[in-house]
Amino acid sequence: MRRSIIASIIAIVAGTALWGQAPRIGVFIPGAREGSPIYDTLAKGAERLVSEIPGASVRVIEAGFNQAEWEEKLTSFVASGKFDLVITSNPSMPELINKISKSFPKQKFICLDGYLAGNPNLYTALYNQLEQGYVNGYLSGLVSISGMKGTNPDKKVGMIIGQNYPVMDKMIIPGFTQGLKAVDPAFQLDIRVLGNWYDAAKAADLSRSLYAGGADVILPICGSASQGVVKVAQEVGKYLVFFDDDEFDRAPQNILGCAVLHQEELAYRSLKAAVEGKLPFGKAEVVGMKEGYIEFLDKNPAYIKNVPESIRKKVEAVIQAIKSGQLTFQVPSL
C-alpha cells in the first residue's frame, strides 16, 4: 500500500516535472461521444487519469461527423496552446496529426486505433482487429449453421459498416471472413456500407434487407447507427455480434457475442506513461488479445444463455489458440 502511494507520488512529481505543471490533456473526438463506445471510453480513460493527479485537467471536444472539418478543428484545438497532450482515436487521425504536427513541433499526440511510426511527437497503438473479427466471425458461422431458432441453412452472414477505410478493408473484414470460412469455406459475407456513423433509420433498412436476404447474424460497425440494427434484429428475431464494447444489455436475446476493445484502459495507461515520461513517442505499437486489450466476453450470462455449450467450447479453443500464439494474425501494412 505504502509502496504504491510512494510510486504514485513519484509519478505525479515526475509528470509535473515533465510539463512544468500538472498535465493538461485534450481529448479530440472525431465524431460524437454518445453512441460510439470507442470514443466514450477514450474520454473516460483520460478523465480517470486526471482524477488521480491533483491539478491536472482534461477537456473533451467532439469534432462531429463532418470529416472535412476535422483538420481545421484539430488545428485550432492544438493552436489554443492549452494542452500538453492531445489524445484521439481512429485510423484516419495519424495522417492528419502528421500534417498538423509540422506547425506545432512541441505538441505531443497520442492516437489509439491508428498506426503511424516515425513522428517523434506521435505515439500510436493499433488493435489487432484481425483477431477480434476472427473470433466474432467464427462464432457467427457456428451459430448460422447450428439450426438454432432464427437461423437458416444459407451460409450467409452480414455486416453494416459506417464507411470503408484501410483497417476495415484489410483487417476487420478479412478477420471476420476468415472466422466464417474456418467454419465452412462456403460462407458468404454480405456487406452494406452506410456512408456515415449516425443514420439509424438507414441502418435499419439495410439490416432488414440483409436479414431478408438470408443473413442470420449481422456485425454492425457503424457507430450510433447501430441502434437501427438492434431494433430490426429484435423485430425479426435474428442475431447480432458486436465489436468495441459490452452491448449485451441492448438486446440480451439477440446479441450472441461481444469482442471488446479495452480502450479506456489503453487511453489511461498510455496517457499515464506519457505523463511519467515513459511513452515511446515516435513508435507505433500493435496490441491484441495476448496483451489484454482485445477480449471476447465469454462470461456474460447472455452469451452463455444464447449460445449452446458445444459452440462455446469451440470458440474457447480459438481464443486459447490466439492467446497462446498458436493462431497468429499478421498485421498488414495499412
For the chain, strand residue ranges (E) read 24-29, 57-62, 85-89, 108-112, 122-127, 156-161, 188-193, 217-221, 239-244, 255-261, 284-287, 294-296
The phi, psi pair for 145, rounded to 5°, reads -100, 10
Which residue type is seen at 269? Answer: R
Considering the complex, what minimum distance in angstroms separates the CB of residue 291 from ligand RBF? 16
Q: Which is nearer to ligand RBF, 114 or 150 (CB)?
A: 114
Q: Which is nearer to ligand RBF, 243 or 303 (CB)?
A: 243
Q: Which is nearer to ligand RBF, 56 or 161 (CB)?
A: 161
115: contact with ligand RBF by CB under 6 A: no
Return the C-alpha cell found at 143. 451459430
The phi, psi pair for 179, rounded to 5°, reads -65, -45
Residue from 36, 88, 124, 207 binding ligand RBF (CB under 6 A):
36
223: contact with ligand RBF by CB under 6 A: yes
Strand-pairing partners, residue 156, are 188
Binding segment for ligand RBF among 19-27, 75-83, 89-97, 102-110 (CB under 6 A)? 89-97
Contact 138, 183 (CB under 8 A): yes
221: contact with ligand RBF by CB under 6 A: yes
Task: Kindly state the DSSP code that residue 118 receives in the 8-state scheme.
Answer: -
Considering the complex, what minimum distance in angstroms separates the CB of residue 254 from ligand RBF? 19
Rounded CA gap, 157 and 334, in Å? 25
167: contact with ligand RBF by CB under 6 A: yes
Q: Which is nearer to ligand RBF, 32 or 148 (CB)?
A: 32
Rounded CA gap, 27 and 77, in Å? 10
Q: Which is nearer to ligand RBF, 84 or 244 (CB)?
A: 244
245: contact with ligand RBF by CB under 6 A: no
Q: Residues touching ligand RBF: how many (CB under 6 A)?
A: 17
Q: Which is nearer to ligand RBF, 24 or 138 (CB)?
A: 138
197: contact with ligand RBF by CB under 6 A: yes
Rounded CA gap, 200 and 231, in Å? 9
Q: Which of 4, 51, 3, 11 is nearest to 277 (CA)?
A: 11
Binding segment for ligand RBF among 160-168, 246-254, 309-317, 318-326 (CB under 6 A)? 160-168
Residues that bind ligand RBF (CB under 6 A): 30-31, 36, 38, 67, 90-92, 113, 162, 165, 167, 197, 221, 223, 243-244
